[in-house]
Amino acid sequence: EIVLTQSPGTLSLSPGERATLSCRASQSLLSNFLAWYQQKPGQAPRLLIYGASSRATGIPDRFSGSGSGTDFTLTISRLEPEDFALYYCQQYGSSLLTFGGGTKVEIK
Amino acid sequence: QVRLVQSGAEVKRPGASVKVSCKASGYTFTNHALHWVRQAPGQRLEWMGWINAGTGNTKYSQNLEGRVTITRDTYASTAYMELSSLRSEDTAVYFCAIAVAGLYSWFDPWGQGTLVTVSS
């Protein structure tokens, strides 16, 4: 099983600031098969990024993904009020799909 | 647009079974795999299994093997997830989601979620 470790657990920032979220895999991901999701309370996860760096349809360009191998990053260049939420990474490079434990981005 | 609509919340006794439905619309149902993911309170998302909506082939998480069954009705464009021998640890929100590119893929979109509560 590929274990995904997200850090930090909580990120306290103000609107307009830059957020940098990390996702580390326990082994190298095949072809950078990593996605990022945003989840708000009482809602389903929403796809932000797939293939480590490709933005999903309709996702603002303030969201960007980067990384390869075992280390991946989601960056929100300037936080908008609607961006304060939980963020999860997911790997789909193995037949046992796994998710990270999440990073909560909260208002400072 | 592509949409997944799940059945409503359920309350079950320990040892019982639950069956959650996921109705798809806006695309050709048999062209994509559907996955099930659950989220227990305060826990990370846990992948449960998938069904190839075209062939009916399935694969399940080893953690749930023997207790989970995923089926589909192509005429109704609906997938089902049945979990048996329920225990309190199965209390969670259950999501279905479309695998966009192949069997193992990112998920988009997701259903709205179904809360299953297991309590005596």
Query: Tens of pLDDT along B43-81?
Result: 999 999 999 999 999 999 998 978 999 999 999 999 999
**Contacts with B12 (C-beta within 8 Å, 6 or more apart), sequence order:** B18, B86, B116, B117, B118, B119
Closest Cα in chain B, distance from residue A15 (Å): 26
Q: What is the mean pLDDT of residues B2-22?
A: 97
C-beta atoms of A92 and B59 within 8 A: no
**d(C-alpha B12, C-alpha B117), whole Å:** 6
C-beta atoms of B104 and A56 within 8 A: no
Q: Quick one: pLDDT at residue A2?
A: 93
**Rama region for B102: left / alpha / beta (φ>0; ψ in -120 to 50; rest):** left
- State the Cα angle at A79 between B40 and A48, rounded to 5°: 50
Q: Quick one: pLDDT at residue B42?
A: 87
Q: Quick one: pLDDT at residue A30?
A: 79
Tens-digit pLDDT profile for residues B23-45: 999 999 999 999 999 999 989 99
Are B17 and B85 spatial neighbours (Cβ–Cβ below 8 Å)?
yes
Q: Which residue's entry shows tokens 């309370």?
A: A41
Print pLDDT tens along chain A (108 aa): 999 999 999 999 999 999 999 999 999 997 889 999 999 999 999 999 999 999 999 999 999 999 999 999 999 999 999 999 999 999 999 989 999 999 999 999
Q: Which residues of A touch B40 (CB under 8 A)?
A: none
Distances (CA, A) of B108 to A47, A68, A97, B95: 6, 22, 15, 12
